[in-house]
């Protein structure tokens, strides 16, 4: 897979970006903002995870979207535009259908953004950012991420060894299988605990917990990070001003109401579009630069 240009920036920039985008996505349910956020999420997810990953994701997301959008009018009867009455006499309103659609669109968008987050914020970046404020917790986090694949592998080793003496979880009747499975888990636990103590002693002998330690990855906050941060700060300022003026808000109940579009609200939309597409724009810019450098020689 291609290396993402946005992921090459400083972890702090990456983290602030995703925190802002996720928060805004959950906060603003204005249809224009939702459409922009969904577009940005899908474009970035395609660039980061490839077309197949997003197709797989959308296959799960679309039924979820339909179910959630349909469920809302069943439970919520607020709103003034009554379309028809259900069998039990409760009204189905246009407002609650629209609100259900908007809420489920928000949910789908959040999940697609999270898939981008997972691709960009790798665990060493997470460690780098939070290693200072919560060293013990981020160490636990990094160790667990490492242990899980290791234990799965060790389980395979134990299972092979047990199969040789007829005690695998695939051998025997139902109860015997269960008992063999539990025994394997028990063997694995003993191994894991002894192993862990050795790791802990090794950590201690190499100076874990002493001051002035360095981290594995070296990230420098350099000029392009500063430039991108300034750019993001400007966009965030415009968006917060927009939120303060009410351009980002929508009222669903009792009747749907949005502020009329003004020149300023168009500016806010443009800022949001730029923010949501920022990783994609950076990628395109880098690709263009790379191509132009190569074609010069």
Partner 1 sequence: MQQQEPLIRRRLSRRTPVAAALVLIVIPATILFGLFVLDDRKYMFVSVLIVLYAMIPFAMIFERRKPQGREIIVIAVLAAIAVAGRSAFFMLPEFKPVVAIVIIAGVCFGGEAGFMVGATAGFVSNFFFGQGPWTPWQMFCFGLIGFIAGNLYRAGWLRRSRWSLCIFGGLSTLIVYGGIMNLASVMMFAAKPSREAILASYVSGFWFDLVHAAATVLFLFFLARPMLEKLDRIKLKYGMME
Q: What's the closest the beta carbon of residue 104 comes to partner 1, in angstroms? A: 8
Q: Please select the residue that binds partner 1; options are 86, 203, 240, 261, rule is CB under 8 A.
A: 203
Q: Which long-range contacts (CB under 8 A, 24 or more apart) does 236-239 make?
A: 236/20, 236/275, 238/267, 238/268, 238/271, 239/24, 239/268, 239/271, 239/272, 239/275
Output DSSP code: residue 79: S
233 binds partner 1 (CB under 8 A): no
Q: Is 33 in the site for partner 1 (CB under 8 A)?
A: no
* CA 208 and chain centroid, separation: 31
DSSP-derived secondary structure for 216-255: SS-----HHHHHHHHHHHHHHHHHHHHHHHTTT-EE-SSS
Residues with Cβ within 8 Å of residue 93, at least 6 apart in sequence: 73, 77, 78, 79, 80, 81, 82, 83
Which range touches partner 1 (CB under 8 A), out of 34-42, 146-154, 265-273, 277-285? 146-154
Nearer to partner 1, 59 or 294 (CB): 59
Smallest distance, Å, CB 10 to partner 1?
22
Q: With binding defined as CB under 8 A, does residue 100 bind partner 1?
A: yes
Contacts of 221 (CB under 8 A, 6+ apart): 10, 12
Q: Binding pattern to partner 1, positions 243-282, x when CB under 8 A?
A: ------x-xxx-----------------------------
What's the Rg (C-alpha) of the chain? 26
Instruction: Examine residue 200 and tell whether it contacts partner 1 (CB under 8 A).
Output: yes
Question: Where on the chain is the footprint of partner 1 (CB under 8 A)?
Answer: 23, 26-27, 29, 68, 71-72, 75-76, 78, 96, 99-100, 102-104, 106-107, 110-111, 114, 117-118, 133-137, 139-141, 143-145, 147-148, 151-152, 155, 178, 182, 185-186, 188-190, 192-194, 196-197, 199-201, 203-204, 208-209, 249, 251-253
């Amino acid at each position: 897979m291609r290396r993402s240009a946005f992921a090459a920036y400083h972890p702090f920039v990456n983290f602030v970006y995703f925190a802002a985008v996720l928060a805004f996505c959950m906060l603003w349910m204005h249809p224009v903002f939702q459409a922009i956020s969904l577009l940005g999420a899908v474009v970035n997810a395609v660039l980061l995870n490839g077309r197949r990953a997003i197709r797989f994701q959308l296959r799960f997301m679309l039924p979820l979207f339909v179910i959630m959008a349909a469920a809302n009018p069943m439970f919520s009867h607020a709103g003034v535009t009554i379309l028809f009455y259900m069998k039990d006499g409760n009204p189905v309103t246009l407002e609650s259908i629209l609100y259900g659609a908007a809420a489920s669109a928000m949910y789908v968008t959040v999940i697609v953004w999270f898939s981008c987050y997972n691709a960009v914020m790798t665990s060493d970046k997470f460690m780098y950012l939070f290693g200072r404020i919560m060293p013990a917790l981020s160490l636990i986090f990094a160790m667990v991420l490492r242990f899980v694949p290791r234990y799965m592998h060790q389980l395979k080793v134990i299972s092979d060894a047990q199969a040789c003496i007829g005690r695998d979880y695939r051998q025997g009747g139902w109860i015997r299988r269960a008992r063999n499975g539990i025994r394997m888990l028990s063997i694995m636990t003993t191994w894991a605990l002894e192993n862990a103590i050795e790791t802990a002693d090794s950590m201690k002998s190499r100076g874990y917990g002493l001051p002035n330690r360095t981290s594995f990855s070296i990230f420098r906050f350099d000029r392009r990070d500063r430039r991108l941060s300034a750019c993001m700060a400007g966009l965030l300022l415009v968006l917060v001003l927009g939120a303060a003026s009410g351009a980002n808000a929508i009222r669903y109940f009792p009747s749907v109401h949005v502020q009329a579009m003004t020149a300023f609200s168009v500016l806010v939309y443009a800022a949001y579009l730029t923010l949501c597409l920022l990783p994609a724009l950076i990628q395109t810019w880098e690709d263009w630069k790379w191509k132009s450098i190569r074609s010069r020689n």
